[in-house]
Structure 1
Amino acid sequence: MIDLEGKVAIVFGLANKRSIAWSIALKLQEAGAQLAICYQNERMKAEAQGLIDELAGAEGFQCDVSNDAEIDTLFGQIKERYGKVDVLVHAVAFAPPEDLRGDFVNTSREGFRVAHDVSVYSLIALSRAAAPLMTDGGSIITLTYYGAEKVVPNYNVMGVAKAALEATVRYLAASLGPRRIRVNAISAGPIKTLAARGVGALGEMLKVHAEKSPLRKNVEQIEVGGAAAFLASDLSGAITGETIYVDCGYNIMGF
C-alpha cells in the first residue's frame, strides 16, 4: 500500500475532472497526502475551487507558471502554510492552437517560444522554487507523451516541446539528485482530456491504441494517477530521470 501520510503535494494543471491532474490529485489524497492545488488565474479560480472543495483538506493557490514573480509569491505562501514540500506535480502544457494545425514547417516563432516557455521552462522554474522546501528530499513528476520521440499527426510543436521536457527531466534529476530530490516523467497514452481534443483526430488515435497496444485497451486517467502516487512515494526511492510509460504497452510495438 502506498503511504503518503504527512507529505505535502503541490499539483499544477488541475483544470477539470477529465484532466489527468484530477486523477493524480485523487490518488495522492487517497494515499494520505495534504494537497495544495494551483490554478492559473482569477478566471479559472471558480472552476478550480469546485474541484478543490471535493478534495478533503486541499487548499487552492493562484499561480501563472509563466510569471516568475507569481511563482516566488506562491512558494512564499506554501512555506508559510505548510513549511515544506514533498511532492510537486507539473501537469502543465500549452501551445497556440494555430501551431497545432497544418504543416509543422509553418510553426511560428512565437508559437515555438510559448510552447517551450509554458510546457518546459515552467518545470525548471517550479523545481527551483520548490527545492529549498524539499528539506527531506522529494519527488517531482511531470507529464509527457509518445509524440516526444515519434511523429504524431497534429501534435507538431508540442511534440518538440515534450522532447525538450524529457531532456529537462534528465538534467534536473542530475542537478537535484544530491538533495535527494527525484525527477521523473509519466508518458501516458491518449486520453479524452480537454487538452487532447485540441490536437485533433483523437478518436482515431484512441482506436489505433486500443487495437495495437499489448493490453488491447486505452489507458484511463486513474491508472496514470496510480503511477504518479507510486513515483511520489518512497517505493520509487531509487528511480529518477526516467520516462515511465503508462500507455498499455503501445510504445513497445513496432507496427
Structure 2
Amino acid sequence: MLEGKRLIITGIVNDQSIAFACAKRAQELGAEIVATARPQDRELCEEAVKQLPSEPEVIDLDVTDLSHFDRLIEHLRAKWGQVDGALHAVAFAPRETLAGDFLDVRPERVNLAFNTSSFSYMSLGRVLRELCPPEGGSLVGLDFDAAVTWPIYNWMGVCKAALESINRYLAFHLGERLIRSNLIAAGPLETRAGKGIPGFEILTEAWAERAPLPWDPKDPYPVADAACFLFSDFSRAITGEILHVDAGFNFVAAGRKRAAQGAAQTGTS
C-alpha cells in the first residue's frame, strides 16, 4: 500500500510509542522512512529503531527551533530529493499546565506547550511543501479529541484544539500543492506521553465503560494502521479531517453501566 513512499516519522522514543508502531507498519507496507528525534532523545530513538524491520537514519529535530526544520529540508533534499509524507507525533506540556490550576499558569509554560505540540505541525507542513513531488503528499498528526473538555488535560486540551484548527488551515493552504493534512484522534494509549498525564487512569477507565468496541490502551497499532491509510493513495480525496480511532468512544454520551442503571430506575429498556 505504501510501496515507493518516502516518509518522515517524528517522535519515536521507544518501541511502545505510536510513532514506532507507525514506522513499523509503514515499512511493512513498503515505505522507506527517516526518523527524527530531539537531540536529548536521540539515543533513545536510535535504540528503538534498531527493532524496526529496517533500521532508518535518525535526524536531529528540535521542533521548537525553526532552523532545525530548515536543516531537515536541506538534508532530505540531498538524501531523497522528495518526500511523500510526514507523521507529526510530537507533544509536550509542562506538568503545571496539565495538573495545576487552569487559571493560575505562567504564559511562557503554555507557550512552550503550544510551540511544541501545535505550531510545530505547521512547521512540518512547510517541510512537506518544500519536498513533496508534483503528485502531492500527506501530512498526518496525532490528536486527542479537543471538541470536549477533559478534566486532566487542561492547557494541552487547548493546544490540541489549536492543532485541529491548524490542520484545517494547512489542508486549505496546501491543497493547491495536492498535499493532504489530516489528524487521528486516538483513544488513550500507555505511551511515555500518556503515562505522563496526571490521572491518566481516569481516561482508560472511561473508555472501558463507554466505548462500544474493545479498546486496548497497550496497543498502538490500530492508530498506526489508520495513519498508513492516510499516507496511502487510498485517502487521496480526504483532507482537513479528524479520523477518530477510539473504539467509538467519541459518539457515546454515557457508559453502558450508567445507561443500564438509568433504564432500571425508570423501568425502560
Question: Among residues 37, 40, 46, which one is paired with 1:39 in the alignment?
Answer: 37
2:50 aligns with: 53
**Which amino acid in 1 is paired with 2:228?**
A
Structure 2: which amino acid aligns with 1:122?
S
Q: Is the 8 A contact 1:209 1:218 kept in 2?
A: no
1:216, distance to aligned residue in structure 2 (A): 3.7
Query: For the residues of structure 2 that align with 1:205 and 1:109, how far apart are their CA atoms?
Result: 27
1-side partners of 2:71 and 2:215: how far apart?
Answer: 43
Specify the code of the residue in structure 2 equivalent to 1:230: F
DSSP-derived class of the 1:4 partner:
coil
TM-score of the aligned structures, taking structure 2 as reference length: 0.90
C-alpha distance in structure 2 between counterparts of 1:236 and 1:10, whole Å: 18
Q: Distance in 2 between matches of 1:9 and 1:87?
A: 5
Computing the radius of gyration from Cα coordinates, the structure with the larger value is: 2
Alignment of 1:59-208 (within 5 A): 59-135=57-133, 136-146=135-145, 148-208=146-206
For residue 201 of structure 2, what is the amino acid of its counterpart? G
Structure 1: 5+ residue stretches without partners: none
| CA positional deviation for 1:17 | 1.4
**Counterpart for residue 240 of structure 1:** 239
Q: Write the deviation string for residues 5-62 of structure 1: whole angstroms up to 9, x where unpaired.
A: 1110001111111211111111111111001000110x32211111222230521111
Q: TM-score, normalised by structure 1?
A: 0.95
Structure 1 letter corresponding to 2:233: D
Amino acid at match of 1:125: S
1:138–1:180 Cα contact (<8 Å) kept: yes
**Hey, what's the Cα distance between the residues in 2 that align with 1:57 and 1:28?**
13
State the distance in 1 between where 2:18 and 2:97 align.
23
Alpha-carbon distance, 1:172 to partner: 0.2
Please list every run of 5 or more consecutive structure 2 residues that lacks an aligned counterpart in the other structure: 255-269
Q: CA deviation digits over 1:207-226, x for unaligned, max 9?
A: 22022101143453010000
Cα deviation, 1:61-81, whole Å, max 9, x if unaligned, reads 111111111110111111101
8 Å CA contact retained: 2:20, 2:49: no
Give aligned-pair identity as a percent.
39
Aligned equivalents of 2:77, 2:193: Cα separation in 1? 31
CA distance in 2, matches of 1:18, 1:38: 16
Q: For residues 62 and 242 of structure 1, what CA distance do their matches in structure 2 show?
A: 29
Counterpart for residue 212 of structure 2:
214
Q: Alpha-carbon deviation of 1:129?
A: 2.2
Structure 1 residue 236 displacement after superposition:
0.7
Aligned mate of 2:25, from 7, 27, 46: 27
